[in-house]
Amino acid sequence: MKRQEAAQQNHPLTLEDLEDSWDWGIPRINTLFQKDRHTLIMDKGWRAQTQFKKYYSRTIMECLEAFALE
């Protein structure tokens, strides 16, 4: 409903537009920013990559060392 009103008035949704909807719970980020879904996917992938990079690097190095010993 808020999205339709914003589209009719030709302005983007703002935080102030959504303040009265906070009692219903916080809307999902993907729902609010559908146009930026590719950016959000890249951000999620980048965050996961940075978190697991140290574990991944260690595992690969251990496998390579074990393979070299055989």
The model's pLDDT over 17-39, given as tens digits with 9 standing for 90+, comes to 777 766 665 556 656 666 666 66
Structure tokens at 40: 């959000």
The string of DSSP letters for 7-26 reads HHHT----HHHHGGGGGG-P
The model's pLDDT over 38-59, given as tens digits with 9 standing for 90+, comes to 666 666 667 777 777 767 666 7
The C-alpha atoms of residue 55 and residue 57 are separated, in whole angstroms, by 6
Q: Which residues, at least 6 apart from 37, have a Cβ–Cβ distance to it below 8 Å?
A: 30
The C-alpha atoms of residue 44 and residue 26 are separated, in whole angstroms, by 19
